[in-house]
Chains A and B, each alone.
Chain A
Amino acid sequence: MKKVLIEKDTFLKKTFKKYYYGFITKLRVPSRLPEREIGYLTFSPERMVRHLALKSEGELRALILHEVPKALYYSSAYYDDPSAPINERIWKGADLIFDIDLDHLPYEENLMTSFYICPICKNMFDNLINKNCPNCNSQTIEEVKIATKKGLESCKKEIIKLTEILEKDFGLLKDNFCIYFSGKRGYHLTVEGSKYEIADQPFRIELSDYLTLNGFKINRILNENISIEQQIHQFPSPWERGWLGRFSREYIKSTFSDFINHDEDSFRKILLSILSSSKHENLLSSLESIKKRLSVKIDVAVTTDVHRIFRMPDTLHGGTGLVKKKVDEIDKFSPLTDAVVLSDEPTKIHVLYSPKLELKDTFYGPYKNEDITLPEYVATFLVAMGLAQTIENS
């Protein structure tokens, strides 16, 4: 018997097709579908198709079954005629959209496993000195980043921060929030049917700056140029609204050892003792680090783009074989289990390299240059990541 390695896209398309055929009736169709622009990416030859308008749920399902896309997108915007050329369309509004991606979080250890793999000589490297493969000098060497459980937990925390601010500061209703695991390295949050739906780009830029604390003036909290008495007076109360209250509460958390059941007066007293005994630079630097902790790490380019197309919920991610999954309860959501939708049919693959990874509460790997039979969803994950190829005997 001869071993034959199957092309990545051939295998993925077959797997995706099987999934969509079984799942198509359960696919949740985006609201107001006919008003949205639809686009998709094909398997090889890779091609991006945009500016589609679909009249009905049936048309969407037919498109999926017919094309079996590598990725499927829908616009956050609503148009009069989504298939018209972009400058002839009438823009009617857009959902608020937020993207929390591991790539945008400040560096911390073990958020992702990352390494390099050379598609030419099939070697794996932890680090690169320059942009070429250290072995065969190929320039096509690719960086592979795999989100860890810890990394995805950090993204979750950002989502929780985000929902809290959108609710409290912007008066949005939790019922209008839809949170999704993106299918790869992060989370999406969309808000449909809010009073901000018709907000234009300048507003969305302001909103993004608000969330990321871009341009925030620390001297609203602490100002060196006024007397200590005035500083104590100016310092926001922990019961204050908006960012000021958040800064104050976070400051207490990091500075006061036991501030429970305290009132405004005792808060000011403790503040007096701290402010009069600390150097201004130290106070400032602790406020700066609070600012870093509090800011919400959204991808600003996504939120401020009123014509963006976004991955459609319930569709598979071509880079992992995981689904973009609606999150019902963020605290209980476990992306690397809940977003696994492919079968566990035994699938034989040749793995170039894989770090130890966890899917559906089971650990796999590490593997290096070996043939192994794994459940379809693990095999698909590794193939989609470019780390393995399926084997067929002929």
Chain B
Amino acid sequence: MKTENKRTVTHIVKQLLNLSIKEIDHVIGNNHYDYLMDVKEYVELSSTFKSDYWKIVNRVVDNGYVYLKTNEVIRLIRDKIKTEIYKRIKESPVPNIPKNLQYLVGIVKNRPLPRAPLESSQLTTYPPCAMRVIARSEANENLSHFERFFLTAFLLKTGKSVEDVIKFFSTSPDFNEKVARYQVEHIAGLKGGRKAYNVPDCKTLFSQSLCYKDESCNGISHPLQYGKRYVKRGEKSSDRKGHIPKEDF
């Protein structure tokens, strides 16, 4: 049973997640190790874990590989499997809708869409892309590096403080205050005398599959322009460009 488990885990890690891993049988003191994992891949997988237990300084590292037990490998790949499955569902083709149900499609398609807000209020000034990431974060899902970066830069640029942003992330399951603070301050430009990073534009978000465009986006090209169109109706496109400051240090 045990070896069968091990074989399944190996299969999943190698075939589904495309990570390099080697089976071993090695005893150190009271510990029996089953796997070697590439140290870079290990650090990526464990980066969201809070406890010092997962730091590489507390692992056996040799020749670029980390020694692991089967249950540790399972813990490491859990979140990754979740995202992988989600990705595959998203990418899979939409099945053909049976003829007798197609009239429903017509109804849904022609239903009037909810009205886009005309004035900016607390809740509606966030574009769909940002709302989506916030929702994912609030549902305790693990955000990718890029999602975290986008959300941090976005919240900072729309007036949230570094403390607010860190607090916002503090509810996530593997929150590590030190790392989070470092990253948020880095993006805010507080580290190393740098200027803040810019919020990625719609094109970039789209290419990262994070754009959830709807009517309310109304032809904008940058999430920070969201909502502003309604207020400053007469602005020229060159002014809009000014929302994205070009910075340097």
Contacts and interface: CB of A to CB of B under 8 A. Distances in A.
Whether chain B is bound by chain A comes out as yes
Nearest to A235: B29
A170 B44 CA distance: 16
A171 B63 contact: yes
Contacts of B67: 241
B91 interface: no
Most chain B beta-carbon contacts within 10 A, residue among A88, A168, A209, A242:
A242
A200 B179 CA distance: 13
Most chain A beta-carbon contacts within 10 A, residue among B28, B44, B65, B145:
B28
Give the contact-size bracket for chain A.
35 or more
Contacts of A241: 28, 60-62, 67
Contact of A210 (B28, B61, B62, B195): B61
B249 interface: yes
Given A85-B246, A206-B43, A171 B28 contact: no
B29 A234 contact: yes
A230 B145 CA distance: 41
B63 A86 contact: no
A202 B179 contact: yes
B85 to A, nearest CB: 25
B45 to A, nearest CB: 12
B197 A87 contact: yes
A196 B40 contact: yes
Contacts of A195: 40, 64
Nearest to A209: B57
Contacts of B81: none
A174 B67 CA distance: 23
A199 B248 contact: no
Given A85-B248, A220-B58, A242-B61, A233 B43 contact: no
A86 B248 CA distance: 6
Interface string B175-211: 0000100100010000010110110000000000000
Closest 5 CB pairs of A and B: A171-B64, A85-B248, A241-B62, A171-B63, A234-B29
Interface of A: 50-51, 85-88, 168-172, 195-196, 199-203, 205-207, 209-210, 213-217, 220, 230, 233-237, 240-244, 305, 307
26 contacts: A85-B246, A85-B248, A87-B197, A169-B63, A171-B65, A195-B40, A199-B43, A201-B182, A202-B43, A202-B179, A203-B43, A203-B44, A205-B179, A206-B43, A206-B55, A209-B56, A210-B56, A210-B61, A215-B55, A216-B57, A217-B58, A220-B58, A235-B29, A236-B29, A240-B60, A243-B57
Given A203-B44, A242-B62, 12 more contacts: A85-B246, A85-B248, A87-B247, A168-B63, A195-B64, A201-B186, A202-B47, A210-B56, A215-B52, A234-B30, A241-B60, A244-B60
